[in-house]
Every structure is written in C-alpha cells, then in structure tokens.
Structure 1
Amino acid sequence: MNHRQLETFAAVMKSGTVSRAAELLGITQPAVSRTVAELERSIGFLLFDRVRNRIIPTPEARLFYAQVEASFRGMDTLRAAAARIRDHGSGQLRVGSLSALGSSLVPKAVRRFREGHPDIGVTLMVLPSRDVRDGVASGEFDVGLAADEIDVSGVLHQPFVSPRVLCALPLGHPLADNAVITPYDLHELPFIAYVPEDRARQRLDLIFAEADVAPRIVVETIYAATVCALVAEGVGVGLVSPYAVAGADPTRIVLKPFEPAVHSKSLLILPLDRPKSQLVRDFIDCLLASR
C-alpha cells in the first residue's frame, strides 16, 4: 500500500467512476483499474463490486475510505504546519533580558515585532545576566541580552549597546544643580552600587581609586531598576544606564552626566549550535531598530 494507490482509490470513491477518476488524476482508465487492483491485493479485501459495467463500493471500501480521508486531512494539517514553520518559525519566541534593557528597549522591540507577527506568542523573562546566559546556552531562550561580564563560552555573542551611564540623584539633592557629576563629588556620600562582579562596577571602582575618593556604599544590587527605586527613596545616589530609567518616576530623581565616561555594555547572545529561525532574525532586527 502506497500513497499513489490511496490517492487513486480516493479519486474513484469521489468521482464514482473509473473514467472520471482517470480524468481527475490525468492518467488512463486501465492505469486506474490496475492501481486499484494492486491496492486490493495489498490490503486483502475487495474495494469495488463490478455490476453491469459499473463499480459499486463494498462496505469495507466505505469504512476504509473514511480512514483514508482522515489520513489525507492529517497530511493537509502537516503541510499547513510546515508552511507556518517555514514562514514564521515555531510560532513562539522566547526572550531573556537583563533588567537594564528589559523595562525599556526590549518592550519597544516586542511592540515592533508584534506589529509584524500578531499571531506569534512572546515569552519575555527579565533575569540576572548569568541566568539569561544559561537559558540561552540550554535552549530555554531563543535570544538573550546580557551584561558583558557573563561567561560567553557555549553561546554566540556580539556587542549590542554600550550607553554612557548617568548619575541618578534624589530630587532636592545638593548635587542636583551641578551640570556634571565627578568622582570627587561622590566622596563619602551614600552610594548605591552594583555587585562587585559587575563590569560597570569594576570600571567605576578603578575611576574612584585613581581619583583617590571613596563613596560610602550603603546598598549593592544587580538590578538597575532597584538602583533607581532606592535613589527615589533617598537612600543614596547611583549610576544607571539611560535605558534603565524608562520606568523611573521623573518627579523623584534627577539625572546628570558623569565624568569621566563610564559605559554599561551589553551583549546579544544566541544558542551556539542552533540555526536562527526567521522569527529570531525578525526579532533581532526589531531589537537593533529599537536601540
């Protein structure tokens, strides 16, 4: 039993005659009769009775035809699924992002992406950079954005954004009127810092050491959004990426340039051994357009 035999049998059942089936299939009547006979031998029972030059489906043929039709519908479903995968990928996009970009740039990219792919579901997880990296490496995420201190073994990576950080001050702070904030301005002031393994923190520590100043660290955190929230509460001052202040209350914090320049660098990361689907390519385009 093969697909050609089943297709010929279905054509005879639909058309009611061998001649019409031959026309539908574009083959000769003897070829139709021969193929049906081959199918009968293969399955072990008659499909048609020959009565006065007419063919009448047997009861077994009607039962078998129902199953053949069901299998054809299944093939149509598979073809449609293959077309969707070809055109749109898996139908689901999984994204991991560090906090600094997960509340600003990435949502903009998701909006752009959804405009072009309204039927595609998106899962967005905002996590520490090391967890984003692990999720991409394991295949949990299709694409990730992480700070540049991650271990890049096991993932594809490329620079994504490197914005110059700003100094965030509580509203009414004595330094709020300064045009620029320098390391000397922060000496012994309550300071909200990132954890020691953060690359931006390490670059800032070098700047403080070279200037021979030492802010008084009162809180360490991994999230830029937490820095903004603590500054808004008056706990201290901190340095944040401009992307991280999108959700901050502008009536409670003041942002000032910091000299010398410190950059918050992030990477676009992808699974190492998996070709990019069209969905992933389209989302990357949206990320790049949202920078």
Structure 2
Amino acid sequence: MTAPARRTVDYRIAPFDLHLFAMVMARGTITAAAEAVNLSLAAASARLKALEDATGTRLLDRSKAGVTPTDAGRALARHASRVLAELESLHVEMASFGHGLRGTVRLLCNTAAMSEALPQRLGRFLVGNPDLDVDVHELPSDATLDALRRGSADIGIVADHVDASGLVVQPWLDDRLVALLPRRWPVGARRSIAFGELLERPLVGLARDSGLSRFLAAQASRSGRVPRHRVRVGSFDAVAQLVAAGAGAAVMPESAAARFRGDGVRVVALSDAWARRRLLICMTPEGAQLAGVRALAQALVAD
C-alpha cells in the first residue's frame, strides 16, 4: 500500500516575520504592528501572507476592527515568543564571546558538594573570573555521570562509589556520611551505628529528589527496605532542628553534622563501608580541553 504523500514543511521562517506576528498580537492591528517595526502596511501584509503560506494555514481573521488570531495563530504566537526569547539569549551569549568572554560552565554535583564544600569555593572562583558564569544543578552521582557522557554538562562532582571510567577524574574531598541522632535516644556510648538500624527508626531527611535522599533510598533497597521519613525539609539546618526536637534520626555529611554537634543532637559514625567515600571532579576528555572548564576544575582542586 502506497503511503499518502506528505506535505514538505517549509522551515524557512524569518525571525523578523515572527517578530512582526508577535507585534500584531500585542498591538491588535496590522497597521499598528507595521508602524512598530518600521514597515509600510503593504509590506507588513505581504510578509504575514507569506508566513501563512509557509505554515500552510490561516493565522489571522481580519476585519475592519482589526485582527484576531485563529487557533493556529495562537499556537504560533506561543512558539514565536519562545523562539524569539531563545534568539535573544543566543545573541547575548555570542556577543559576550565577541567581547572576549568565555561563556558558561555547566556544573552538576551531589548534595554534599552543593550544600557544604562547593559554595565558598565557587564564590571565590567567580570573583576571580568575572568573565565566566557557572550554571549549577544538584543531581545524584550516577545521573551526573550520565549527563556528562551525553554532553549536557561540563563538570560533575560525584562520590567515588560510581563508575567514572572514560572520564577525566581528579580526587577532591573526603565525604563521610554520619548519623545525627536526638540526644535523648538510648544508644549509650556507641561510636558507630549501622544504617540498617536507623531504618528501624523514624527518619528526618531532605527532599525526596535530592541526591542524598536518592542515594540512601538505593542503599535501603539493597536490603529490601524503604526508609520511613516522618518529614522532609529543604536544608541540613532544618533537618538538625527536627532531629534535636526528637522527630527522628538523619544521615548527612560529617562536615554538615559538625555544625550541630551539641545542639541537642549526637553525631555518630555510620559503620557501613559506603558511608566512607571521596568526592571526585569528573570531566569528559573533550570538556577538559575547554579553558573555562579547566579553570574551574583547577580552582576547586587548588582550594
């Protein structure tokens, strides 16, 4: 059976025509839009007719009172707004290169780095490199490596429990996870506790989609268990306050827990081997050749 012929889509739509169409939507008449973009009425009408030909559908209902968009016109207006905003962003970024700027470094990191080790170091780097911006997002370590390999990130900070083969890896900081317990809980003088024992108790944690929460859920699932969180909050400070109030136990990086030692909580080491880990700075071989990426990695390691 022969497949029906498909219309060839004409993608050669000038950004200026999208701008003109957006002005028609904003001003309500072709006349007012033409004046706004410095075109004659005849020229504006011709360009709008060509736009309708290119999209293959009627975009405007015309009347003496002005114009109103068809359903297709409203859809085009939404896309036009998005496309024009992206083009503006493109021009701004390209202009920055023209003035000698080096653009934006895309950095992904786990919870420990995002909340503890990174902000102060990143602040010093940004002050010392005013021509570089850094786009930072928090992701679990395995998702960070996937993003690096897909090319959607430049630098990743991950824990060393993941497979970073094929990437350029630099050891960074030690990142031990510990238990934060309410001081009145009866654990005696114990210096360590297993995560499995914590799973028998109510927990306080970060948001479900945080890197640390995902990591701990994965560790629990290995024993066929699901952590029971009484509450999830947005920061280690809030977690510590809830633990001090007796709401439950928590797991966090030792560097964070040290700030709360003595504030109605006890800091106890986790005996699980996975709790003792090192943070790594990872880049693809291609990314490591980019000046901005290399500068950020070197600055973090130097710190």
Which residue matches 2:155? 143
1:178 to 180, 189, 202: 189
Is the 8 Å Cα contact of residues 162 and 266 (structure 1) preserved in structure 2?
A: yes
- Offset of residue 257 of structure 1: 3.6
Distance 1:159 1:124, change over 3 A: same
Distance 1:118 1:124, change over 3 A: same
Which residue matches 1:218? 228
What is the RMSD of the two structures over their aligned residues, measured on CA atoms?
4.6
Give the counterpart letter for 1:174 in structure 2: P
Is the 8 Å Cα contact of residues 236 and 256 (structure 2) preserved in structure 1?
A: no
Percent of residue pairs identical: 22
Which residue matches 1:123? 135
Structure possessing the higher relative contact order (Cα contacts under 8 Å, 6 or more residues apart):
1
Q: Deviations over 1:44-67 (max 9, x none)?
A: xxxxxxxxxxxxxxxxxxxxxxxx
Which residue matches 2:285? 272
Measure, in 2, the Cα distance between the counterparts of 1:129 and 1:185.
22
Distance 1:225 1:115, change over 3 A: same
Is the 8 Å Cα contact of residues 98 and 129 (structure 1) preserved in structure 2?
A: yes
Measure, in 1, the Cα distance between the counterparts of 2:175 and 2:218.
11
Q: Deviations over 1:3-28 (max 9, x none)?
A: xxxxxxxxxxxxxxxxxxxxxxxxxx
Q: Deviations over 1:242-281 (max 9, x none)?
A: 2454887974643234457740333221123334333222
Structure 1: tracts of 5 or more residues without a match:
1-77, 207-214
1:190 to 192, 195, 201: 201
Is the 8 Å Cα contact of residues 160 and 280 (structure 2) preserved in structure 1?
A: yes
Q: Deviations over 1:55-80 (max 9, x none)?
A: xxxxxxxxxxxxxxxxxxxxxxx9x9
Distance 1:238 1:149, change over 3 A: same
Measure, in 1, the Cα distance between the counterparts of 2:259 and 2:295.
26
Measure, in 2, the Cα distance between the counterparts of 1:131 and 1:178.
38
Aligned length: 199
Q: Deviations over 1:135-175 (max 9, x none)?
A: 22222222111223434355333433333332211243333
Give the counterpart letter for 1:181 in structure 2: S
- Offset of residue 122 of structure 1: 1.7
- Offset of residue 201 of structure 1: 3.7
Q: TM-score, normalised by structure 2?
A: 0.49
